[in-house]
């Protein structure tokens, strides 16, 4: 049986029509599950009994299960158990301007970034669309809050699960489901060039963030294996095309690793690399993990890096740090549980 949360409204309409039902039943089903939040098909009272029977025989409304919540100031971290027993995490953050959720897109990750906890546990499988949709439904229900923005920056490489992730985005963006505006959705990738090309054509106004983390290939290859497949020249070139095509500003994430990529000369090199592009750099304080190899840069070093970029006319922000007391780094809670 197919989980109902795998379907966009359009997809459900198409299968209903193909099976001899009225298109309108899709709107009714969506109203029950996304607006009324009723997950028992027997209670879909405006749908007749034989149609309900078809729905029951065809679609499941099974949910992933909450296993654990960790809380800190302004942040809650959720560990979920999937129906096959695999575990993933989602993080809810409270900002002045509303709430955001960081969702996982895969069980584990194959990108192998040296500093990242998720990559230590290899990819087991892609998440299905419903497993991403349900992270949001459940977090809203458990935390009793409406989520305003979504970042796909949890466990996994979203562009290594492109189809399901794009379907997920389409569903949560739909005014008939969660109505999360495209400008409030951000997808973050380590830089899979052909997928960035494809993404540029998708026609949705979603934000794109790139895990850059280094100003040159030499450093990048040391910390991110993906740099061997796609050198910076190709990545920068596809980003320029993306910006030209979509007219949207791209976020460049840069995690500050002591002694690796945080020198003033790295800041100069980075400015030269991205000068004139419609981008901004988001400096991320490294969340130290069991992975003892890497240390976070000091506040002074981050400040100096920040100021160097600023002076050279690069737009730059420092990402607010959430949940240092809990296992907030990408993949940390899951890896601790295993």
Q: Coil, strand, or helix at residue 198?
A: helix
Strands (E), the chain: 2-3, 59-60, 65-72, 75-81, 87-95, 98-102, 106-107, 125-126, 149-152, 185-189, 207-211, 250-256, 279-285, 316-318
Q: Find the farthest-apart pair of alpha carbons in the chain and give their distance in angstroms, rounded.
A: 70
Active site residue 202: no
Confirm if 204 and 186 have CB atoms less than 8 A apart: no
Among the listed ranges 66-74, 135-143, 168-176, 282-290, the one in contact with ligand SAH (CB under 6 A) is 282-290
Which residue among 289, 297, 308, 335 contacts ligand SAH (CB under 6 A)? Answer: 289
Contact between 322 and ligand SAH by CB under 6 A: the answer reads no
Q: What is the dihedral sign for C-alpha 134, 139, 141, 142?
A: positive
Active site residue 330: yes
Task: Check 113, 190, 266, 330 and give the catalytic one.
Answer: 330
Among the listed ranges 24-32, 63-71, 186-194, 239-247, the one in contact with ligand SAH (CB under 6 A) is 186-194
Give the per-residue contact string, 100-119, with ligand SAH (x = CB under 6 A; - = no): -----------x-x-xxx--
Euclidean distance between CA atoms 114 and 26, whole angstroms: 45
Strand partners, 209: 188, 251
Task: Check 13, 70, 89, 128 and give the catalytic one.
Answer: 89
Least distance in Å: CB of 253 to ligand SAH?
Answer: 4
Euclidean distance between CA atoms 44 and 309, whole angstroms: 57
Contact between 173 and ligand SAH by CB under 6 A: the answer reads no
User: Is the CB of 200 or the CB of 329 nearer to ligand SAH?
Assistant: 329
Q: Supply 33's token pair.
A: 């599950």
Least distance in Å: CB of 219 to ligand SAH?
Answer: 14
- Site residues (vs ligand SAH, CB under 6 A): 111, 113, 115-117, 153, 157, 188-190, 211, 253, 255, 284, 286-287, 289, 329-330
């Amino acid at each position: 049986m197919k989980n109902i949360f795998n379907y966009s409204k359009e997809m459900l309409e198409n299968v209903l029509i193909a099976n001899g039902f009225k298109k309108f039943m899709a709107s009714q089903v969506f109203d029950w599950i996304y607006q009324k939040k009723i997950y028992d098909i027997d209670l879909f009272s405006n749908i007749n009994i034989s149609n309900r029977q078809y729905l029951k025989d065809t679609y499941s409304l099974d949910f992933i299960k909450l296993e654990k919540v960790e809380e800190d100031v302004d942040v809650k971290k959720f560990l979920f158990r999937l129906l096959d027993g695999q575990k993933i995490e989602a993080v809810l953050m409270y900002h002045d301007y509303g709430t955001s959720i960081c969702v996982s897109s895969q069980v584990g990750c194959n990108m192998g970034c040296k500093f990242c906890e998720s990559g230590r546990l290899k990819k087991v499988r892609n998440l299905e669309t419903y497993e991403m949709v349900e992270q949001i439904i459940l977090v809203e229900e458990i935390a009793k809050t409406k989520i305003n923005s979504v970042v796909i920056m949890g466990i996994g490489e979203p562009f290594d699960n492109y189809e399901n992730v794009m379907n997920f985005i389409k569903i949560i963006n739909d005014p008939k489901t969660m109505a999360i505006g495209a400008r409030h959705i951000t997808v973050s990738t380590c830089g899979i060039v052909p997928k960035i090309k494809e993404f540029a054509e998708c026609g949705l106004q979603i934000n794109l963030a790139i895990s850059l983390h280094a100003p040159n290939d030499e450093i990048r290859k040391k910390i991110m294996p993906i740099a061997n497949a796609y050198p910076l020249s190709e990545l920068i070139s596809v980003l320029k095309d993306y910006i030209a095509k979509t007219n949207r500003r791209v976020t460049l994430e840069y995690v500050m690793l002591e002694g690796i990529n945080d020198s003033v000369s790295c800041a100069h090199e980075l400015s030269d690399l991205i000068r004139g592009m419609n981008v901004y750099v988001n400096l991320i304080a490294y969340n130290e993990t069991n992975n003892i190899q890497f240390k976070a840069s000091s506040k002074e070093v981050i400040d100096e890096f920040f100021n160097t970029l600023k002076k050279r006319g690069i737009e730059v922000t420092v990402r607010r740090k959430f949940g240092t007391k809990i296992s907030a780094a990408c993949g940390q809670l899951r890896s601790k549980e295993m």
